[in-house]
Amino acid sequence: MIMGISRAIFTYLIFPGIAFSFFMGGIGWWLERKLSARFQYRVGPPWYQTFLDLAKLFIKETTIPTGAVKTLFVISPLISFSATAMFSAIVAQGYFFQKNAVADVIVLLYLLIIPSLFIILGAFSSRNALALVGAARETKLMLAYEFVFIISLIIVIIKSGGSILLSDIIRYQAQNGMHLKSASGFIAITLSIFYIQAKLGIVPFDMAEADQEIMAGTMIEYSGPLLGFFRASKTLLYFSLPLFIITLLGVVPGDTLPAKILFVALEYLIVILIISIIKNINPRARIKDALSFFWFFLSPLGIIGILLALKGM
């Protein structure tokens, strides 16, 4: 029994759990920054720069603004990180070992919504005018990108025979081929890519933290370890969120752990490349244009994907 508990702790905290997801997220963030640098004819940072930047935050002083709602201001990054860590551990377990007592897509969707909600609440609790602008932008954007992602989840559920369990979705693709090969699956992956871009606040959807406009917006009053927890959450999502999308739509046959690692590494690199290309060929969108893009282009496209999935296409 003790060995079983130790093994469970190891898998959830080390591999393929939180520590592995954090490391891979840091590498993914570095790859995206490196690719962006090469697009702009710059050298770019070394591979360990992301980890150094995070470590630096955790040894700095934390300042709490005068007039802030201190309790909410302090717990927001902690809850955001906790939800992200739990999401990362469950998704990694689901992909690599197909262990998911509670890992259905509804639970995972809840866990994904929590970090965004507490970024908004943390910004509001700071009572900084620029943070309020960033929080308002993030709230509007969240209503758009979360709806689009729910549509892509509906497509996946339909194509998986109505199951919401991660293990069933993986098993169905292993037996019948990955959903990505179908027309509706291609639509779902398209929606999911833009969802990742907006969820992580990557150009052109970085208006909530626009440095040149609102001086980091939602993050303007955060410093030290509190800011570090928000950045650590983003680092985790840099890997676990693409891994979640790959698990839903791009699982390929591979019974051994090395095969699974190889396949997910290749697909992850493709996702990072696409994200970097989108970032470097588009300027920051206005919030009005971003909402129009999600609601009036991606949403109808998603409805077409649902109809195609119902027809088995």
Residue 292, phi-psi category: left (phi > 0), alpha (psi -120 to 50), beta (remainder) = alpha
What integer pLDDT is reported at residue 255 of this predicted model?
Answer: 66
What does the block give as tokens for 56? Answer: 């630096």
Q: How many CB atoms lie within 10 A of CB 101?
A: 9
What integer pLDDT is reported at residue 185 of this predicted model?
Answer: 95
Segments of the chain scoring below 50 in pLDDT: none
What does the block give as tokens for 209? Answer: 């933290």
- CA atoms within 13 Å, Cβ hemisphere of 78: 5
Q: How many domains does the chain have?
A: 1
CA distance 44 to 118: 31
Domain range enclosing 239: 2-310
Q: CB–CB of 202/279 below 8 Å? A: yes
CA distance 101 to 171: 15
pLDDT tens sequence across 4-41: 556 667 777 787 888 999 999 999 999 999 999 998 89
Query: What are the Cα distances from residue 103, in Å, to 17, 25, 111, 165, 178?
Result: 14, 21, 11, 6, 19
Q: CB–CB of 171/101 below 8 Å? A: no
107 CA to centre of own chain: 15
Q: What is the DSSP letter of 53?
A: H
Backbone angles phi, psi at 145, to 5 degrees: -75, -30
Query: What are the Cα distances from residue 155, in Å, to 83, 94, 174, 177, 293?
Result: 25, 19, 17, 15, 20
What integer pLDDT is reported at residue 101 of this predicted model?
Answer: 54
> Does the reported pTM lie above 0.85?
yes
What's the burial of 39, exposed, middle or buried (CB within 10 Å: 0-12/13-18/19+)? middle
Q: What is the DSSP letter of 70?
A: H
DSSP state letters, 172-184: HHHHH--GGGSHH
What integer pLDDT is reported at residue 313 of this predicted model?
Answer: 85
Which amino acid type is present at position 89? A
Q: Where are the alpha helices (DSSP H) in the chain?
A: 2-13, 18-39, 49-58, 70-97, 105-126, 129-159, 166-176, 183-199, 211-214, 224-249, 257-281, 287-293, 299-310
Q: CB–CB of 21/247 below 8 Å? A: no
What integer pLDDT is reported at residue 51 of this predicted model?
Answer: 95
CA distance 293 to 13: 38
**Residue among 233, 262, 261, 263 nearest 26 (CA):** 233
